[in-house]
Amino acid sequence: MMFEETSLKGAFVVDPDRREDERGFFARTWDRAEFEARGLNAELVQCSISFNREKGTLRGMHYQARPYEEAKLVRCTMGTVHDVIIDLRRDSPTFKRWLGFDLTADNRRMLYIPEGFAHGFLTLEDQTEIFYQMSQVYVPESAGGVRWDDPTIRIRWPAAVRVISDRDKNYPDFEPEGART
């Protein structure tokens, strides 16, 4: 696997190192030792998928607060998404900065998202699926979010949002105290 650290410390784009031959290719998508060697959380306790019927579906921007913060490894297994992360670590020099990446079934890129980040995505194709590996089980009482169009964060989405849940649409304006504590 090939790891490329982003400008948000601790967040990585991970590309599979393909071993190709006449049949196609083989590549690892997870290796505990590779993650641990880079000081990344390699404790994966839960895996989930998110299937989205329509292009323009937005999910996010979600996080879990202490003590249930989670690291995530996210990959698009069908379709295309614009995947966005926000650094919510108050002590970070990149606090409130965001980055977006196109993850596709074709490019097979993964995004490693450390604890203390909000995460979300916008589908760019119909019939899109995301596969998540997480370091923490989901704890509903610890779940929080940042509104997808928050005026403080100012995420620039590459396409129109057509489908969004009421919860995601109605998060309050960003408050640093409401983020990671």
Domains of the chain: 2-178 (2.60.120.10)
Asked whether the beta carbons of 123 and 96 are under 8 A apart, the reply is no
68 is catalytic: no
Please compute the mean of the pLDDT values over residues 91-118 and round it to a whole number: 97
Is the bond preceding 78 in cis, omega lying within 30 degrees of 0? no
Residue range 124-147: average pLDDT? 97
Q: Which of 1, 3, 32, 8 lies closest to 119 in space, CA to CA?
A: 8
Residue 175 pLDDT level (bands cut at 50, 70, 90): confident
pLDDT tens-digit series, residues 31-56 = 999 999 999 999 999 999 999 999 99
Q: In this structure, are residues 104 and 39 in contact, taking their beta carbons and an 8 Å threshold? A: no
Which helix (H) or strand (E) element contains residue 60?
A: strand 57-64
Centre a 10 Å sphere on the Cβ of residue 125 and count the other Cβ atoms it contains: 16
* Among 62, 63, 82, 119, the one annotated catalytic: 62
Inter-residue contact 69 to 116 (CB < 8 Å): yes
Give me the pLDDT at residue 154, please. Answer: 97
Report whether 6 contacts 13 (CB < 8 A): yes
Q: Is 178 helix (H, G, I), strand (E, B) or coil?
A: helix
| pLDDT at residue 124, rounded to an integer | 98
Catalytic hit among 68, 132, 138, 171: 132
pLDDT of residue 49: 97
The yes-or-no answer on residue 132 being catalytic is yes
